[in-house]
Chain A
Amino acid sequence: MRHLTTALAALYAGLIYLFIFLPVVVLVLFSFQDGTLPVPPLNGLTLRWYEAIFSDGKLMAALGNSLIVAIVSSAVACVLGFLAAYAFARYTLPASGLLRGLIVAPMTVSTLIIGLGLLSVLNLTGLRLSLVTVGIGHVVINLPLCFAIIYASMGGHQVNIERAARDLGAKDWQVMLLITAPMLLPSILAAFFLSVTFSWDEFIVAFLLSRFDVTLPVEIWSMLRSGLDPRTNAIGSVVFLVSVAFLVVMELTVFRKKAS
């Protein structure tokens, strides 16, 4: 009986993981399809679709754009999130709970609404759509996340350490830069890498707020409009691989630090 329940539990777990990862596995598998259609049967393995995407200037430009937008917008979101978290954790602010809630609230709003809202605002201000506006959009999306992660790691035990720094003559900006930020580095890095992975494959805001220079998800979307093609599988696999790479880097840097 116990063996049966164990077996059923294992089967159930296996099905769940299959359900989650089957699409990714199929995508990656058919990126190696030796033929022009990324559907079964698998005719053979080839790397020519990867060759095709890496020699595609537009795709590579979009990939570069995506990396720049992801890294810069995440860095800005982390700096703003850190400053906000510092203020909420170290000073008594009026209506602090409400203001904190308002900072985190955009997490619950769909990116479509945020994107449309930003589009209207940008129209009003007359700012031309570009990678900069995409970056602004990604800061708006990722700031609540960065704030929440960094704020959660700011505890009372750091207060005395900051006080000691001030007692030894450090000015407020020196305390933040030399003491608080390095102490919170694990959570700041966690916020940064998570934010990068979100920005990296974000489509809706990037689509609504870009025009000539586009990010990779937008470029993939326009490829898809001309029909299925193993090239889309190949570039999709690359997107997936990069996301995984960022998560692995995060695990290694953040969790190794925490363990010590």
Chain B
Amino acid sequence: MTADVSIRNATKVFGAFRALDDVSLDIAAGEFIVLLGPSGCGKTTLLSILGGFIEPTSGTVSIGGHDMTHVSPAKRPTTTMFQDYALFPHMCLRDNVGFGLRMRGMGKAERYEKAFSLLDLVGLRASSAKKPHELSGGQRQRVALARALAVDPDVLLLDEPLGALDLKLRRQMQDELKAIQKRVGTTFVHVTHDQEEAMAIADRIVVMNKGRIEDVGTPASIYMRPRSLFSAGFMGEANFLPAKVRGTAANEAEVETALGRVALPASAFVAGLAATGRDVTLCIRPEHFRNGNTDVPTVSLGRGRITGSAFFGTHHRCHVAADGTSLTAHLPQTDNPQIGAELDLRLKADSIVVLQDGAGVVE
């Protein structure tokens, strides 16, 4: 089963701390949503409000069109997959997975059948008589998923479920989570502070900071067209170059930076073309400093000198000094950057994003 979720002006205050500040969000049925942000940004609070574990100070939550703001967790069409799995240590896997059905009064035979089919889904049917302590971390994770899905929730809430796993297992579980979500069609709301994980699984990412939503969109749109400095900085590496708008035309603007004047297309301005005289920030991803393909309009920021370089497998990460400004550039793995070498700071005009100052905060 699946349902849409609508959060309207949700605010949660703990004493003097605003954990959640007037957040509104609409989630479509069957969507895989990831709430992304640093610790303390309010993502877990928002998840707890969806699960019914805490009530918002103000605002409403509705699921499938029904108001759920003051409904207890047991009576909501949601289940939660907890960070520490929270499996029942004294029950075998079959009883763990069947627990929710038992609470709904389902008979033993029927319940076990359903538990078996879910353990099958996560590949643990053969271990159904084992206790949780006999399993590895990844297997416990799968049991927690099966247990949460057993009661056919409309919305599954996942509270940093992959945080305790090592990198390789985490990648594998991300793929599995996504595949299972597509198969069952349930709306998934997943909390994480890992932007790679967010990109790996999300249909849409919700970037949160200081109790507010900074940005909402597909992984590609948030990475390529971030709508705030925070969002740009949190989703991967970015160079921020302060600039001032010197003049605007119909579909382009000239801005002045410490590295000279450049003309940028209007489409680079995510919040609409800024007026002359405005302070703006150019956001440039390090991998965009790549030469070669010149059949598209490019922008030059002059030349820089490589001051440091490290090989990262997929790329060389280089520190570049240009006119007193220090930048980071990712050069192709086949390059052989030398310290002291000059680098042409040329990039495609449409790869630059211009953010208005005051839109978000760089941490």
Tell me if A160 and B84 are in contact (CB < 8 A).
yes
Q: A182-B90, A185-B90, A260-B133 are in contact. Are A169 and B151 (CB under 8 A)?
A: yes
**A169-189 interface with B by 8 A CB criterion:** 169-171, 174, 179, 182-183, 185
Q: CB-defined interface of B34-73 with A at 8 Å, one 1/0 digit per residue?
A: 0000000000000000010100000000000000000011
Chain B residues, Cβ within 8 Å of A161 = 86-89
Tell me if A167 and B104 are in contact (CB < 8 A).
no
Which residue in A166, A182, A183 is a CB contact (below 8 Å) of B74? A166
Determine whether B249 belongs to the interface, using a CB cutoff of 8 Å to chain A.
Answer: no
Chain A residues, Cβ within 8 Å of B84 = 157, 160
Tell me if A169 and B104 are in contact (CB < 8 A).
yes
Tell me if A168 and B79 are in contact (CB < 8 A).
yes
A160 CB to closest chain B CB, in angstroms? Answer: 4
Tell me if B82 and A169 are in contact (CB < 8 A).
no
Tell me if A167 and B103 are in contact (CB < 8 A).
no
Determine whether B100 belongs to the interface, using a CB cutoff of 8 Å to chain A.
Answer: yes
Tell me if A167 and B88 are in contact (CB < 8 A).
no
Q: A164-B82, A168-B103, A260-B133 are in contact. Are A179 and B88 (CB under 8 A)?
A: yes
- For the complex, what is the distance from the CA of A161 to the CA of B86, rounded to whole Å? 4
Determine whether B281 belongs to the interface, using a CB cutoff of 8 Å to chain A.
Answer: no
B244 CB to closest chain A CB, in angstroms? Answer: 51
Q: CB-defined interface of A26-38 with B at 8 Å, one 1/0 digit per residue?
A: 0000000000000
What range describes how many residues of B lie at the interface?
Answer: 20 to 34
- For the complex, what is the distance from the CA of A174 to the CA of B102, rounded to whole Å? 11
Name the residue on A nearest B82 (C-beta). A160
Tell me if A166 and B73 are in contact (CB < 8 A).
yes
Which residue in A165, A167, A169, A182 is a CB contact (below 8 Å) of B51? A167
* A169, A170, A171, A183 pick with most chain B CB within 10 angstroms: A169
Chain A residues, Cβ within 8 Å of B53 = 163, 167
Chain A residues, Cβ within 8 Å of B151 = 168-169
Chain A residues, Cβ within 8 Å of B193 = none
* A161, A168, A260 pick with most chain B CB within 10 angstroms: A168
**B132-190 interface with A by 8 A CB criterion:** 133, 147-148, 151
Chain A residues, Cβ within 8 Å of B86 = 160-161, 163-164
- For the complex, what is the distance from the CA of A256 to the CA of B6, rounded to whole Å? 50
Q: CB-defined interface of B111-150 with A at 8 Å, one 1/0 digit per residue?
A: 0000000000000000000000100000000000001100
Tell me if A163 and B82 are in contact (CB < 8 A).
yes
A159 CB to closest chain B CB, in angstroms? Answer: 9
B358 CB to closest chain A CB, in angstroms? Answer: 40
Q: CB-defined interface of A173-210 with B at 8 Å, one 1/0 digit per residue?
A: 01000010011010000000000000000000000000
Chain A residues, Cβ within 8 Å of B100 = 168-169
Chain B residues, Cβ within 8 Å of A164 = 80, 82, 86-88, 147
B322 CB to closest chain A CB, in angstroms? Answer: 51
- For the complex, what is the distance from the CA of A70 to the CA of B159, rounded to whole Å? 47
- For the complex, what is the distance from the CA of A154 to the CA of B90, rounded to whole Å? 15
- For the complex, what is the distance from the CA of A46 to the CA of B213, rounded to whole Å? 87
A188 CB to closest chain B CB, in angstroms? Answer: 12
Chain B residues, Cβ within 8 Å of A165 = 88, 99, 103
**A137-168 interface with B by 8 A CB criterion:** 157, 160-161, 163-168
Name the residue on B nearest A159 (C-beta). B86
Name the residue on A nearest B144 (C-beta). A164
Chain B residues, Cβ within 8 Å of A174 = 103
Name the residue on B nearest A260 (C-beta). B133
Interface residues, chain A, with chain B CB atoms under 8 Å away: 157, 160-161, 163-171, 174, 179, 182-183, 185, 260
Q: Which 4 pairs of residues, A with B, have the shortest CB-CB distance?
A: A168-B100, A169-B103, A164-B86, A160-B86
17 A-B pairs whose Cβ atoms sit less than 8 Å apart in the complex = A160-B84, A160-B86, A161-B88, A163-B73, A164-B82, A164-B86, A164-B147, A167-B73, A167-B74, A168-B74, A168-B148, A169-B100, A174-B103, A182-B88, A182-B90, A183-B89, A183-B90
Q: A168-B148, A182-B90 are in contact. List 14 more A-B contacts (CB 8 A).
A: A160-B82, A161-B88, A163-B53, A164-B86, A165-B88, A165-B99, A167-B53, A167-B73, A167-B79, A167-B80, A168-B103, A169-B103, A182-B88, A260-B133
